[in-house]
Structure 1
């Protein structure tokens, strides 16, 4: 009996230590089993307390009266499946007649408290079937991407959602994106994860970094074209527009419109073309869009108008030609001048890190979801990398990208430098692979030897 008590104490102490220091390990060893038991035993009472039950039907009441039996109790949604994951539980429910998916969504906070979980979210899988995802611990406190993720062309696993699932940046589903964030909010780390995920793929990376290239030029060996000032950016964007027109001419020549060709095989974009003639897709990363839109003279204003016009044309017409935009900035609104609102309307994917004011959050989600605006302005300053990701459907998620240092991103880009395709239209903007860094410039005054 003494050894048994010692073993129990050791197990309890180990569980407590794991829960404090390694919550993911605790969940995989102890937490998931305890949580499943808690959900199964409390399910009926919790659903009744949360108002997620329906009264018995008329035929059940009539049958009870005929058989002289007690009145049947109210019934909760039927459990179709309950399975553990590496971060929580997934509960799939079949709703009863008269219930709605909104009923479950509005009760998620009460379910979180009743089941003793860290977070609860719900989504409708199909009519009458709801999937409730419950997390057992704060998965965003220490982001660990799963070892196995879904791989597909132009689909990058870039962050982890608060429900434990992987957040993907799928360019074929959401061609263009906007990323906002204040200084030191984690915007640069998100961009590094994006570049590191795209580096092993057959894609051309084009960068515009008007901060003299301090963010993107260290990754130059994987890029097919780079620009570090507004003048070069204008030339690069106009070259991309010319490249887009050439791709459209290729699609026109290979559309295969005839009576003998089935409708599904008629080419309408580059992904409908045979692989041997398919142009390589292009992802354009703009590090600070405000630097392209600001001007201080008439000449700079003319340059700015040409830059915004080229960006709008790429956003409106680039998807079919395989050109995708990823625009980053601290602010993005009408104060940047004409054409900005038109450009923002084309940027379907929205990601907002910590922002300094509500107006910045409204730039990203004001036309999508008021709840996402509220969530964006509530991100604490000490949680760098936490962001709100949404799209034009109104859905949004809280995400956080794993920390990737600039050195790690550089190593990944250097490893896959041979995958950087050479595009003839962008040959003039291709960075030199072995270019030496410029001579160092002293930014401090040297003290006099006779002082």
Structure 2
């Protein structure tokens, strides 16, 4: 009995230590079993307490009266699937007649308390079927991306969602994106993750970094074109517009609109072309858009109008030509001048890190997901990298990118430098990559040894 008590105390102490220092390990060893039992045992009573049950149908009540049996009680949504993940539990529920997916979404906070889980989110898969994703610990506190992520061309994992799922940046589904955030909010780390994820793919990366290139030029070996000042950026964008027009001429020449060609094989963008004719897709990363929109003189204003016009044309027409925009900045509002609002309307994907004021959050989500505005301004300063992502459908989620140092991103880009395509239209803007000379160590005067 003494040894049994000692073993029990050691197990409890180990569980407490794991829960404190390594919550992911605690979940996989102890937490998942306790949580599964808690959910299955409490399921009926919790659903009834949360108002997610419906009375039994009339035919069952009538049958109970005719056979003199007990009256059946209220019925909770039926569990179609119960799955354990590395971060929590997933329940797929079949709603009863008269129930609505909004009722389940409104009860997520009460379900979180009742099941003693860290977080509960819901989404409707199809009519009458709702998926509940429960997390057993704070997955955003220490982001650990899964070893195997579902990647395909132009779809890369960049962050982890608060429900434990992987957040993907899918350029074919959401061609253009806007990323805003204050200084030290994690915007640069998000951009590094994006570049590192795109580096192994067959894609051309084009960068515009008006901070003299301090963010993107270390990754230059994987970039097909780079600009570090507004003048070069204007010329680069003009070259991209010209390249876009050439791609459209190629699509026109290869549309295959003869009568014997099925409708599904008629080419309307580069992805409908044969692989041997398909131009390489281009992702344009703008590090600080405000530097392109600000001006001080008349000449600067002309250059600014030229830049914004080119960006607007790429946002409106670039998708079919395989040109995708990823625009970053601290603010992106109408105070940057004419054309900015029109450009922002074309940026479907929105990601907002910590912002300094509510107006900045409204610039990102005010026109697509008003509920996300409050979440964006509630991000604390001690959690860099946490962001709110939304889309034009009105949905939003809290995400956090794994911390990637500049050295790690540089190593990935150097490892895949051989995949950098050489585009003739962008050849004048190809970064010059010379061999770096060794930097001599600074001379340090040695102090005499003490006697």
Q: TM-score range by the shorter chain?
A: over 0.9
Counterpart in 2 of 1:445?
none
> Deviation of residue 71 (structure 1)?
1.6
Identify the residue that residue 406 of structure 2 maps to in structure 1.
Answer: 406
Q: Which residue of 2 aligns with 1:334?
A: 334
TM-aligned CA deviation for residue 371 of structure 1: 1.1
> Hey, what's the Cα distance between the residues in 2 that align with 1:435 and 1:26?
48
Q: Which residue of 2 aligns with 1:311?
A: 311
Q: Find the counterpart in structure 1 of residue 113 from structure 2.
A: 113
2:40 maps to: 40
CA distance in 1, matches of 2:151, 2:212: 34
Give matches, 1:4-403, under 5 Å: 4-403=4-403
What CA distance in whole angstroms lies between the structure 2 residues aligned with 1:145 and 1:177? 22
Q: Distance in 2 between matches of 1:281 and 1:37?
A: 49
Q: In angstroms, what is the RMSD of aligned CA positions?
A: 1.2
Task: State the Cα distance separating 1:110 from its structure 2 match.
Answer: 0.1
Separation in 2, partners of 1:435, 1:4? 66
Task: Give the whole-Å Cα distance in 1 for the aligned partners of 2:49 and 2:108.
Answer: 13
Equivalent-residue separation in structure 2 for 1:56 and 1:412 (angstroms): 59
Once the 2 structures are TM-superposed, how far is the Cα of residue 432 of structure 1 from its aligned partner? 1.1
- Tell me, in whole angstroms, the C-alpha distance in 1 between the residues paired with 2:73 and 2:403: 51
CA offsets 1:244-301 (integer angstroms, 9 cap, x no match): 0000000000001111100000000000111111100000000000000000010000
Could you tell me the TM-score, scaled by structure 2's length?
0.96
Q: CA deviation at 1:6?
A: 1.6
- Rounded to whole Å, the distance in 2 between the matches of 1:114 and 1:3 is 35
**Count of residue correspondences:** 440
Find the aligned partners of 2:79 and 2:365 in 1 and give their Cα distance. 35
Residues 84-138 of structure 1, C-alpha deviation per residue, up to 9 Å, x if partnerless? 1000000111000000000100000000000000000000111111100000000
1:342 aligns to what SS in structure 2?
A: helix
Displacement after TM superposition at 1:306 (Å): 0.4
Q: CA deviation at 1:151?
A: 1.4
Q: What is the alpha-carbon distance in structure 2 between the residues aligned to residue 156 and residue 149 of structure 1?
A: 8
The runs of 5 or more residues in structure 2 that have no matched partner are: 441-451
Aligned to 2:447: none
CA distance in 1, matches of 2:99, 2:159: 34
Q: 1:435, CA displacement in angstroms?
A: 6.0
Instruction: Report the 3-state secondary structure (helix = DSSP H, G, I; strand = E; otherwise coil) of the residue aligned with 2:111.
Output: helix
Please say if 1:433 is aligned against 2:397. no
TM-score, normalised to structure 1's length? 0.96
Q: Distance in 1 between matches of 2:105 and 2:45?
A: 18
Give the gaps of 5 or more residues in structure 1. Answer: 441-451
Residue deviations 1:157-186 (CA, integer Å, cap 9, x gap): 000000000000000000000000000000
Q: CA deviation at 1:374?
A: 0.5
Give the distance between the partners of 2:36 and 2:210, measured in 1 at CA: 52
Cα distance in 1 between the residues matched to 2:59 and 2:352? 52
CA distance in 2, matches of 1:64, 1:245: 73
CA shift for structure 1 position 56: 1.2
Q: For 1:343, what is the secondary structure of its paired residue? A: helix
Aligned to 1:446: none
Separation in structure 2 between the aligned mates of residue 135 and residue 119 of structure 1, nearest angstrom = 5
Runs of 4+ off more than 3 Å: none
Structure-2 separation of matches of 1:83 and 1:198: 31
